[in-house]
Amino acid sequence: MAPTAPGQDVDESIKAPEGLVWAGNADLPYYFAWAPVVDVDSYNVYVDGVYATNVNGNSVNLEKSVFTKGSGEYTVGVAAVKGNKVSNITSIKYTYTGDGAITTTKAPEAQPTAAPTTVAPTAKPTVAPTTAKPTTIPKETTNISFTTDSSIEKPFGLDVSQASVGYVNVVWGRGTIDCYNVYVDGERRRTGISAQALKLPVYTEGTHTIAITTVVGKRESERLEAQIQITGTGEKETEPETCPEELKPQLKENVPLRDDRIAIELNNKTNGKYSDSEIYWCIVGNNANNQLCYMDKDGNMIPASESLNTVEVNGTKYANIYHTLAESDHVYAPTIRSGRMYLSYGKPVYVKFVGSTGYAGPDLNNPGDVNANTLFEFAEFTIEGKHYWGNTTRVDYFCFPMVTRLIGGSLYGGYDNVVGDVGTRDEIFNAFKNEVPNEYKSLVRDDRIIAPCKSTFNVGKINGNYFDNYINEFWNKYANEDLRFSSESGRFVGRVVGNQMRFTREGDSTVYYVDKPNTQEVLEGKGAFDRGNGVEKAIEAQLCAAFNRGVATEPENWYTPSKYYKNSVSNFYAGFFHEHSVLGKAYGFCYDDVNDQSTLLQYDKADALVIDLKW
């Protein structure tokens, strides 16, 4: 079959790529990589057998538009191209959820190529994607000794590259045994992890040996090794800082943990302000068949239907899908994709189903919305079996404090991370009024602290041009000198030409363009910071984060959190919530996951998500 154009036939003598793996991150949510094939010209990439694109390097960040069926399972494949012939396709299964998450369970296989068709575009995402990786350095369990067992299948598809000065990117294939140890220069850096993309520091300059082994219990396969020359040295990894015990949400003694589902547990920590019968929760999202549902208190996914709109408020009917803590303060969650959990005090968050495929939730931009005066927060997540990835957010507002803990057990150390707000509601409100610059004090309302662009920093408002002088300073600087930075998506050099920045990437002849942003586009990652192809959007994410953090003209500080929010022009709304959060993690703007500063929690063997609801 001709996979791209007439005359491009399959040639079995061309080696098919190996090690195809999803390796997505904050910048590149639909990023796939594979081991390079020697003596080929390029690579064709396919989605469900349909030609999607051709790339010169051994990686690709696909556009969301190629996932034409919406959420669900796809086959992503790659074939090597030489002249007018191609190899067989190597493919993996990939579950697209709309947020870059993945559940790949099958090792890549070579298979015949397929004829091309045209891929129709779909609407772009309305929110920035989150990463799918832990927020802290995993704890290393050096006391575990492994013996080599040559009968265990070796890993495949190891690909290493320089990530930035002193750091190496490591990617390998996901085999039938998805459990691996990772070594750098003979030192075990990760134990018993799933296949993923890692960015690891090296401690000496020069040539380094990266090795991967497949793990079964306390046995490991023979090592798959690769060597790479790295410039510079990285910061030494240490045990991650841990949350103070008094802030950690506690598991309920009467809720046993299960092997097949994650327990979501809610704790009333309002100090008597609200009783359990006055705290409400509801969860909406897609089930395993990608059908819109709500989750009942017994963990059943009930399909959306307008017939559920039975609760009348002010003459309009809303869905009866909420529960109080008195009814149930926990639920065992099945698979739920693009899930959202609303948590409210005093009254429920009213949601209205529209047909069987949509729903109308709260709209705080509409003062007449039924939920406008309701005290509520929300969390976003996807759960696939025991795999959890999700976050709480301050991108839109702060209403009341929450602290969230994700716990998972493992022979290799497990996972126990905490994120959330530090202080009572009154303490946080008072601190905001006292600590932020005058421009930001206007964001405080009686019920919420509103994000800048939802208030006085929007177009035509008193602070609507807040970032403009800083943007001009940046633009003038890099009209006269190069901007150089390295991220997970490559090493870039940029220069301002008129109202655009033009970027090139090391090893890539393509020129990438980013338009000059305005204040609102900086604060909300939209417009100039949300257009173009995948690589351009990856550059825009870095720039957006740098502007919000006040380090845009100091690329040497882009990845140093201690330097953030020191400039007189910064997103001090976001900076405040980092200052008043567990371990400094917050989701204060849409690209706050750049450099792992967000509240993302992710683990593939999670047992429980525990949330303290505070006042």
Could you tell me the sign of the dihedral formed by the alpha carbons of 544, 549, 553, 558, in that order? negative
- Number of neighbours of residue 547 by Cβ within 10 angstroms: 28
> Is 149 exposed, middle or buried, given 0-12, 13-18 or 19+ CB atoms closer than 10 A?
middle
- Number of neighbours of residue 477 by Cβ within 10 angstroms: 13
Tell me what percent of the residues of the chain surpass a pLDDT of 70.
90
Can you give the pLDDT at residue 555? 94
- Mean pLDDT across 236-242: 73
Of 51-55, 99-103, 309-313, 518-522, the poorest mean pLDDT is in 99-103
Tell me what percent of the residues of the chain surpass a pLDDT of 90.
64
- The C-alpha atoms of residue 189 and residue 337 are separated, in whole angstroms, by 31
Reported confidence tier of residue 25, pLDDT bands at 50, 70, 90: low
pLDDT greater than 50 at residue 122: no
DSSP codes of every residue in 421-454 = B-S-HHHHHHHHHHHS-HHHHTTB-SS-EEPGGG
Q: Which residue has the tokens 């041009």?
A: 465
Reported confidence tier of residue 70, pLDDT bands at 50, 70, 90: confident
Tell the CATH topology of 249-422+598-614. Thaumatin (2.60.110)
Of 114-128, 276-290, 400-414, 542-556, the poorest mean pLDDT is in 114-128
Q: Which residue has the tokens 């690909």?
A: 159
Q: What's phi and psi for 168, nearest 5 deg?
A: -125, 135
Q: Enumerate residues 6+ apart whose C-beta is below 8 A from 348.
A: 280, 282, 322, 342, 374
pLDDT greater than 60 at residue 221: yes
Of 128-142, 154-168, 422-436, 502-516, the poorest mean pLDDT is in 128-142
- Mean pLDDT across 506-511: 89
Read off the pLDDT of residues 27-56 as tens digits, 9 standing for 90 and up.
567 878 787 787 888 889 999 888 888 888
- The C-alpha atoms of residue 375 and residue 347 are separated, in whole angstroms, by 8
Of 80-89, 259-268, 445-454, the poorest mean pLDDT is in 80-89
Of 103-107, 291-295, 310-314, 537-541, the poorest mean pLDDT is in 103-107
User: Which has the closest alpha carbon to 582: 365, 423, 367?
Assistant: 423
pLDDT greater than 50 at residue 107: no
Of 189-193, 253-257, 349-353, 375-379, the poorest mean pLDDT is in 189-193
Tell the CATH topology of 464-570. Metal Transport, Frataxin; Chain A (3.30.920)
Tell the CATH topology of 9-111. Immunoglobulin-like (2.60.40)
Domain ranges of the chain: 9-111, 147-230, 249-422+598-614, 464-570
Can you give the pLDDT at residue 140? 42
Question: Could you check whether 9-111 and 147-230 share the same CATH topology?
Answer: yes
Element (H, E) at 536: helix 534-548
Q: Measured between alpha carbons, how far apart are the two ends of the chain, in Å?
A: 64
Radius of gyration of the chain (CA): 25
Length of the chain measured in residues:
615
Can you give the pLDDT at residue 245? 84
- Mean pLDDT across 265-290: 97
Cα–Cα separations (whole angstroms), residue 82 to 4, 108, 110:
13, 21, 17
Q: Is residue 371 within 8 Å of 90, Cβ to Cβ?
A: no
Of 240-244, 252-256, 346-350, the poorest mean pLDDT is in 240-244
Q: Determine the 3-state secondary structure of 455 from DSSP.
A: coil
- The C-alpha atoms of residue 464 and residue 453 are separated, in whole angstroms, by 8
Can you give the pLDDT at residue 563? 95
Q: How far is CA 429 from the centre of its chain?
A: 28
Of 119-123, 501-505, 604-608, the poorest mean pLDDT is in 119-123
pLDDT greater than 80 at residue 116: no
Q: Enumerate residues 6+ apart whose C-beta is below 8 A from 368.
A: none
Tell the CATH topology of 147-230. Immunoglobulin-like (2.60.40)
- Number of neighbours of residue 447 by Cβ within 10 angstroms: 14
User: Which has the closest alpha carbon to 372: 400, 392, 399, 394?
Assistant: 399
User: Which has the closest alpha carbon to 394: 431, 420, 363?
Assistant: 420
Can you give the pLDDT at residue 99? 52
Can you give the pLDDT at residue 191? 86
Can you give the pLDDT at residue 132? 29
Q: Is residue 604 within 8 Å of 196, Cβ to Cβ?
A: no
